[in-house]
Amino acid sequence: MSVLRTLQGTPASPGIAIGPVRVLSSQQRSKPLPAGERVPAQELARLRAAQKQAEKEIQEIYERACTEVGEGDSVIFQIHILMLQDEGFQQMIRKSIVEDHASAEYAVWSAGRKLYQMFSNMEDEYMRARSEDMLDISRRLLMCLNRQTPSLDFQGNYLMTPAVLCLTQAVPSQIIRTNHSQVLALVTQYGSSTSHSAILARGMGKPAVVGLGEHFKDLPRGEGQVIVDGTKGVVIVNPTPETLEKYTRIMSAESSRRADLAAFKGMKTMSADGVRIHLLANINSMAEIQMALENDAEGAGLVRSEFLYSPDHCPTEEEQYQQYSQMLAQMGGRRVIVRTLDLDSNTSYSYLDQEQEANPAMGLRSVRLCLRHRDLFRTQIRALLRASVYGRLGILVPFVNDGEMFRQIRMWIQSLAEELKREGKEISEAVSIGVMVETPAAALQAHELAREADFFNIGTNDLTQFTLAVDRENRQLKSLYNPSHPAVKRLIAYAARAAHEAGIPVCVSGEAASDYSMLRFFLRAGIQYLSAPPPYILELRREIGRLKVRGKGNGGQ
Ligand code: PEP
Ligand code: MG
């Protein structure tokens, strides 16, 4: 008999979802099939038919994915087709059928397994990652041979039916490449509430529980449902009918609460005693632009441009230009702040020569990586500047520690603007260039930075991790990771004061921006903009409207 179990993780994105589990794990393997005494001609004919069917299915998935997640992130399915057609793979299968009289299933399984092992043992991280793709395509071919189509839960990261997406390693690019419309909730084995997987779930408005640890193995595979309670951070396995009923009631109360928030659309955001603040949206995908508008964001305060870069494909200037133009046009005159590429070595990108690093969070990442790979940086800046004519663009430079570094980057951006003008390209004269204050050094150098930058964007996620020396990804340290620690607040207040003195605007865009317990502090510190995931905006507006912030207190801490 199946027993109800409650698995405790970390709450990462509020809300409730009920549905079947789909585990996207690196441990998935197909079962071996016995080799048989088959007639080669018949097996080869079956193989050809299955191959055709598999290609057709992956092509269909590719087309669906293009409309849902964009061409860049869907390119992997084209690679799957090429891997499926690969002559080496095909020859291995045929050899086993012709020489050993193996069944087509066995031949596919053993060739897939050999190539999986070959890829897994490769030095190059990118090639190692292809081992999973090998498993995916041989699984699909096997399903087609058994005429069980289209019954796979995934092709690559593509979810075929609505489900709770469960990941061992929550790699943001995996989540981005999953078709969001089918994701009911997100559950991960590792990670914390400020890891990028949790940030993505919040932006998508999906409930999420992260860091289940060893309980992850207790998730039911295949049949059965789970309840994901992203507010409490629990996953309920095998819920009883009473528990299901209770949670269904909570879900309907939650949807009427969300409907009530619609009343705050079109209103100004202001505290009960008249302090005005602007609410912007953090954007992690093109789909979130629409969500930002639906939730009445006054602009996009932080576009994490990494979503345009998939591990297999580096977007060209033209591709990026199209995306940024579309973003700016869709936002219709509202400010759009695009952060330049902030990658680290946790994920491998085929077009970068990355080294394995002991401390990727403090390594060759973000603008440091861009300065090392100037072509990459140049392509992005040119695309942004060209797109600037479609709206109000701000370019945000992350991971800067001092005024001198920022000044040089700014001058370089200006020289690219000149270059474009010489080429006859039109660019807006009103592009602002700001700096992300997300290291203690940047906060302490705030006066110097404020002289060079047009605006500040305080990234509390990294500022907290580096000020407290607490890894934001480490679930064992979650009680120590505290953005409202006095040391972090002091740095925020100090940077905000420097921005005021220099007369430049200041925004907070880390996850703390949607932490209601920090709102009073932000308003008193004179933060004029908060940038949060779109689903939080209307609720923030309501919460701020309930606060009184003037009066007692030193304004800063
Ligand atoms: C931050 O560091 O606070 C931030 C907003 O950026 P990210 O979470 O992408 O590092
Ligand atoms: Mg950051």
The residue whose C-alpha atom lies closest to atom 8 belonging to ligand 1 is 461
Specify the ligand 1 atom closest to the Cα of 512.
Answer: 3
Whether the Cβ atoms of residue 277 and residue 552 lie closer than 8 Å to each other: no
Residue 182 confidence (pLDDT): 84
349 Cα–ligand 1 center, Å: 20
Residues with CB under 6 A from ligand 1: 199, 302, 304, 342, 438, 459-462, 509-510
106 Cα–ligand 1 center, Å: 48
Q: Over the stretch 338-354, which tens digit does the pLDDT of each residue have?
A: 999 998 877 778 788 88
Q: What gap in Å lies between CA 257 and CA 252, rounded to an integer?
A: 9
Mutation pick for ligand 1 pocket among 194, 396, 438 (CB with most ligand atoms within 8 Å): 438
Whether the Cβ atoms of residue 272 and residue 550 lie closer than 8 Å to each other: no
Residue 71 confidence (pLDDT): 76
Residue 150, preceding peptide bond in cis (omega within 30° of 0): yes
State the pTM of this model: 0.76
Residue 310 confidence (pLDDT): 78
Spans of the chain below 70 pLDDT = 1-2, 25-36, 65, 68-70, 73, 125, 129, 132, 147-160, 169-174, 176-177, 222, 552-557
Expressed in angstroms, the distance from the first to the final Cα of the chain is 55
Whether the Cβ atoms of residue 53 and residue 251 lie closer than 8 Å to each other: no
Concatenated DSSP letters for 94-161? HHHHHHH---HHHHHHHHHHHHHHHHHT-SSHHHHHHHHHHHHHHHHHHHHHTT-TT--SEETTEESS
429 Cα–ligand 2 center, Å: 28
Count CA atoms within 13 Å of residue 26 on its CB side.
Answer: 13
Kindly give the interhelix angle for 71-85 and 87-100, rounded to the nearest 10 degrees: 30
Q: Over the stretch 366-400, which tens digit does the pLDDT of each residue have?
A: 999 999 999 999 999 999 999 999 999 999 999 99
